[in-house]
Structure 1
């Protein structure tokens, strides 16, 4: 697939994905969401990919929201479909992907941009980042999982305040309340995200995927997360990577995991 709104590059088992609409502060339009859905599916299904680094083009914005002009005249059913399609194909697809997504937040992460970052498994922010969910200023609420994931990450009280006031917060504040994992200087942002992914790709890929599934299950009221953990734990024993990991430990060497 040829992409018009994103850049992608596979390098040393890490897929680099950059939302490339710098003139629009990388705002999410329909075309960009469709391309993101395609690249997420690619990452999910290609064995050689061990992780994804997601960022925005330029220095001003990760993603400064959705392209409002595309849905300003939507009715009730069209609004529901907009939210449903985006949730399933992009935001939930990232959260449930067996490959870890690391968001490198470079500047504004607002509205759909913050929701995109929150769908990722790990978030690193540059010191100049500003984060927020301003949808109520447009007569809307977050529609791509923002009310749910923000509450899960920072708690009901803080999520209620951020969403109902529409206030932006600094990267430092975001780290204090658990919205991002770490804050670094802008010049160190990509390198820090790469450092995290470099560690992860040395681990057993199937075990990483099992861990993601079990952790996600802890937030799903429809399943018993402990049972999911037991199932995923048991599945690991049936992998070649488990045998390699144990043998490497006993032989006092570094394991070589192949994802099988």
Structure 2
């Protein structure tokens, strides 16, 4: 079985950050930590002007939290630490002084929708349907909620958070403002991402950094907010409902 990884490559001043996990690109703590660190480092690397966030594999961008890890959480402190992993990645993306372009090639669930929402410009294929499935297992999209709401609005976010069993199409996500364009195939998506990212490298990096600060205005409290949200998820993951549900999924 292929090994999980986070890797970065630089091509024409574009930093491509790619994550992969054999379980549909789900995200355990170690991958989340590496992802947050890699994004922070890329933000400080003078050789990189624009960042592209992508995942390996064909049909799934990200399946969200690692089920195996969720099942193994036995106390609130551990739960908070696990969910803080998502908070750390979102905050790293928020604070990064460079534009982050999302490349979403396939289905995206839970925490994955949070990652896509925390990019500054997100492009996808028609296979990139989204689902906030957290309520299904007895928790809620507490940590990713602010990022998703920032892109979809409260109405769109609450719609997919309540209808936790349904995938919403890439076209729906585009209409709501999460995706900027939706392409027929991954090859087309990759070409478009490359053209946009390399074109942005011709612009003034200071202007882009100032624009990014402007786009994220009003989120300065997210270090505290997302930590509080992680504590809520960490508590709920220990509920009898969630423990029973996770056993069934296993």
Q: TM-score range by the shorter chain?
A: 0.7 to 0.9
SS in 2 for 1:197: helix
User: CA contact under 8 A between 1:17 and 1:55: conserved in structure 2?
Assistant: yes
Q: Does 1:152 align with 2:156?
A: no
Runs of 4+ in 1 over 6 A off after TM superposition: none
SS in 1 for 2:101: strand
Gaps of 5+ in 1: 223-260
Gaps of 5+ in 2: 223-250
Normalized against structure 2, the TM-score is what? 0.81
Larger Rg: 1
Instruction: Report the Cα offset of residue 184 of structure 1.
Output: 1.1
Higher relative contact order by CA 8 Å / sep ≥ 6: 1 or 2? 2
User: CA contact under 8 A between 2:7 and 2:19: conserved in structure 1?
Assistant: yes
Measured in 2, the distance between the counterparts of 1:122 and 1:210 equals 16
Alignment of 1:1-260 (within 5 A): 5-21=5-21, 23-74=22-73, 75-88=75-88, 90-144=89-143, 146-166=144-164, 167-186=166-185, 187-219=187-219
Q: CA RMSD in A?
A: 1.9
Normalized against structure 1, the TM-score is what? 0.78
The 1:219–1:126 alpha-carbon spacing in structure 2 relative to 1, beyond 3 Å, is same
Measured in 1, the distance between the counterparts of 2:220 and 2:113 equals 21
Measured in 2, the distance between the counterparts of 1:176 and 1:214 equals 23
The 1:221–1:26 alpha-carbon spacing in structure 2 relative to 1, beyond 3 Å, is closer
Measured in 2, the distance between the counterparts of 1:117 and 1:11 equals 22
Q: How many residues align?
A: 217
Measured in 1, the distance between the counterparts of 2:155 and 2:95 equals 26
Instruction: Report the Cα offset of residue 172 of structure 1.
Output: 0.8
SS in 2 for 1:120: coil
Instruction: Report the Cα offset of residue 164 of structure 1.
Output: 1.2
The 1:221–1:85 alpha-carbon spacing in structure 2 relative to 1, beyond 3 Å, is closer
> Partner residue of 1:240?
none
